[in-house]
Amino acid sequence: MSVDAATVRRIAHLARIAVEDGEVEHLRGEINAILDFVAQLSEVDVEGVEPMTSVTPMAMKKRIDEVADGGYPETIVANAPASENGYFLVPKVVE
């Protein structure tokens, strides 16, 4: 894949980056080099390679996914500037 000058200008516009006309060719070369590197990565055979979470073998720490109030809702609501019936009171933002 190759990027042309118009595409570089479009990318700069979308990223809200001011690019002078003299910089376009330099950026075009850099973007094309990045895309070539990414294309090289797609050529690597990863068949049978397990996904890794770290460079050292370790098990993912997991917890039971359960809904809980933390065991101390009164303490949490006590920090609120205003509360009612165990809930935070917030200013009305919709008419």
Q: How many independent structural domains does the chain possess?
A: 1
Q: Are 50 and 59 in contact (CB under 8 A)?
A: no
Angle at 48 between CA 43 and CA 50, to 5 degrees: 100
Question: For residue range 5-51, what is the model confidence (pLDDT) as tens digits?
Answer: 999 999 999 999 999 999 999 999 999 999 999 999 889 998 998 88
Q: Tell me how crowded residue 74 is: count the other CB atoms within 10 A of its CB.
A: 9
* Assigned domain for 74 exists: no
* Assigned domain for 20 exists: yes
* Assigned domain for 52 exists: no
Q: What is the mean pLDDT of the chain?
A: 89
* Assigned domain for 16 exists: yes
How large is the average pLDDT for residues 71-82?
87
* Assigned domain for 11 exists: yes
* The pLDDT value given to residue 74: 85
* Assigned domain for 38 exists: yes
Phi-psi map region of 71: left, alpha, beta (phi>0 left; psi -120 to 50 alpha): left
* Assigned domain for 21 exists: yes
pTM, two decimal places: 0.50
* The pLDDT value given to residue 94: 87
- Structural domain boundaries, residue 18: 5-42
- The residue with tokens 């809200």 is 16
